[in-house]
Structure 1
Amino acid sequence: MSVHTYWIVDIDATAGEAPALADKVRQWLVEQEIIQPGIVTERTVFHAGEGDVGPFVCPHCGATHFDLPWSPPTEAWYEGEGDSSLGCPACGTSSSIAEWQSGWAYGHLGFGFVEGRMLDKLRDELAALTGHRLRVVHEHL
């Protein structure tokens, strides 16, 4: 049996902000009568499980790439040490792997849901509540 989790990830929240924002969002979810099984408030790579990480979209030029060396910068970002940058073959700029758009998200705050209905609307509501950029990751195990 496979398990699906839909993560809405705050890619702007710092480690220091994550607990207070989690409480704020948790309170809103309770007020809206939306069941929330748990909130992640630590440095996490929210991945797709059995799904693929790519394609990657450059945060500078918008070029899409399907085969980039994502593992070393992902490990560096997760450990909080070393170089987490990924270079764009199209424009030559480098950015943290966390800034690249892909099937994964990197953050200190994530909200997990077992149902994917209304995720886009919920993402927009939580973005308005936190004032941060949010990404949706579909984890399939």
Structure 2
Amino acid sequence: MVMQMWDGLPHTFKQVWLGNLTEFQKAINGYMDWMNVDIGLYNALSLKIDLTLPDYFGRDRRNKILEQMKDIRLFLVDVEKMLNASSYQEYDDEGNMVPYRMAIKALDVPLTNDAKNYNALFKELEHDLSVLSEFKDANASD
């Protein structure tokens, strides 16, 4: 999934933000369903984001965005823990566990009204989906 980038214009932010979060939520929940059904990595994980946002930049919008990012961050921590505890975990040549690299810490970008920061965040969410996509590609049943 390719995230839509924000052009920095205030009137386009809400559409880009909510569109990206909607698609991210749909994609990541699809991976969770696949893990349950196809490979039997049973989990009760489901990302539920409140997909509302105030119309104008201000404290209420910032607080809502922080709440949405907190929900995503907590969810990704749970997903990473689940993958790292599963029998699907990978090991390097010396037998050391190779942790999954979900971009959890990278979700802490400054939430200024700057397209650069938000677009960096969208790239990190894209990265998280690519980690799950690689996991699926490596473990999909024939």
Q: TM-score by structure 1 length?
A: 0.29
- Structure number having the greater helix percentage: 2
Q: Which has the larger radius of gyration?
A: 2
Of structures 1 and 2, the one scoring higher in RCO (CA 8 A, sep 6+) is: 1
- Structure number having the greater strand percentage: 1
